Amino acid sequence: MIEISLRHRLGAFTLDAEFRAGPGITALFGPSGAGKTSIVNAIAGLVHPCEGRIVVDGCVLLDTENGIDIPAHQRRIACVFQDARLFPHMNVKANLLFGWRRAQTRASEGEITRIITMLGLEHLLARKPARLSGGEKSRVGLGRALLSSPTLLLLDEPLAALDDARKSEILPYLERLRDEVPMLYVSHSVDEVLRLSNDVVLLRDGHVTGTGSVFQFASGEIGDAATGGVIDARVTAHRDDGLSELSFDGGMLIVSRVNRTIGSALRVRIRAEDVMLAREEPRAISANNVLPAEILDVRETSAAQADIILRCGAAHFTARITRASLARLGLAPGQKVFAIVKSVTIDPQI
């Protein structure tokens, strides 16, 4: 568990933020100037806030009231920035072991091999950074951070300097790291937050404006960036007709065949525009996915549109319909409906 309470003034900017974060990836999300990097720097010990308390895994790193301020090099926190900041005169192996040599608790040889393999770096160990692609440099930076045996990993927009192709290359590796070590992930990319995070902390003008799960963020229950929804699912069957069945807490989704083994977990994304609603269960339609759901909230977002927040089992997602349809169907919170999901997005993995 990570506990953060910070108050600090930087020129005309005032940071006053308090939140908690659990296992997995917690995204710090907000526009430029919201205070995301200031929080990361304070946690890392690179900035000393006027007032605050930082606790990571039960260890108090900062408590200004009681005069506690653990030096940055003793905090067992690793940072990964936009620029991987590799040492140009060292090869990949030497860069990876730089953090390991300075770690308070050194990983075993077996653990070093496991991390190198997990990040797909085996064939790069003898190369210098100048001979690496942007995505490869990012993976080496991640490996170096992990081999320092941190209790917390801070990622400050690590993909911002990469083009779309390199982002697509590195995202699956970040997904693999979700269970390795708790992470705070700074981003202003909705797509990255939806794909990677477990929880989201919303920031604006130095203040926390909302906290919740990524599922609440995607459905629009927190913040104002409703996109539809994300659902954690599991592959349960591959059918002879070229389709796969995915189970989730709320039912089953039938999708085009996915290249995943039976039992493997994946994250499904649903666009709000790809969800239709019916008051009665539809019959004889082409859509494969008709899910019983309950309306949690109705939000009239513009003169023409409305967002309908739905609960399907434990999963929450949003349907975006016209206000004319809203009035015609007489939709209201608490009603039972059927959600017709026209299509889903499944992120590629390696």
Over residues 170-186, mean pLDDT: 87
- 193, 219, 245 - which closes a domain: 219
Q: Are 251 and 136 in a shared domain?
A: no
Over residues 243-255, mean pLDDT: 94
Q: pLDDT: is 152 or 173 the higher one?
A: 152
The pLDDT > 70 percentage for the chain reads 99
Which is it for the CA torsion 53, 56, 61, 67, positive or negative? positive
- For residue 69, give its domain range: 2-219
Q: Are 126 and 237 in a shared domain?
A: no
- 190, 219, 248 - which closes a domain: 219
Q: Are 214 and 305 in a shared domain?
A: no
CA distance 102 to 283: 64
Q: Are 214 and 244 in a shared domain?
A: no
Q: Are 245 and 145 in a shared domain?
A: no
pTM of the model: 0.86
SS3 label, residue 36: helix
Phi, psi of 218 (to 5 degrees): -65, -35
> For 193-223, what is each residue's pLDDT tens digit?
999 999 999 999 999 999 999 999 998 888 8
> For 109-144, what is each residue's pLDDT tens digit?
888 898 898 888 999 999 999 999 888 888 898 899
Tokens 């990469």 appear where?
A: 162
Beta strands in 118-262 (DSSP E): 152-156, 183-187, 199-204, 207-213, 228-238, 243-248, 251-256
Q: Are 204 and 292 in a shared domain?
A: no
pLDDT of 350 over the 50 cut: no
CATH number of the domain where residue 307 is located: 2.40.50.100
Predicted pLDDT at 348: 64
> For 258-294, what is each residue's pLDDT tens digit?
988 999 999 999 999 999 999 999 988 888 999 999 9
Find out whether 251 and 261 touch, Cβ atoms under 8 Å. Answer: no
Q: Are 71 and 204 in a shared domain?
A: yes
Q: Are 17 and 78 in a shared domain?
A: yes
User: What is the DSSP code string of 89-138?
Assistant: TS-HHHHHHHHHHT-SSPPPHHHHHHHHHHTT-GGGTT--GGGS-HHHHH
Q: Are 67 and 84 in a shared domain?
A: yes
Name the band, by pLDDT with cuts 50, 70 and 90, for residue 349. Answer: low
CATH number of the domain where residue 85 is located: 3.40.50.300
pLDDT of 7 over the 60 cut: yes
Q: Are 52 and 152 in a shared domain?
A: yes
**Would you state the structure tokens that stand for residue 73, as one six-digit string?**
């090099």
Please, what's the b/e burial string for 4-23 (b: 16 or more CB within 10 A of its CB; e: otherwise)?
Answer: bbbebeeeeeebbbebebee
Please, what's the b/e burial string for 32-53 (b: 16 or more CB within 10 A of its CB; e: otherwise)?
Answer: eebbbbbbbbbbbbebebeebb
Q: How many structural domains does the chain have?
A: 2
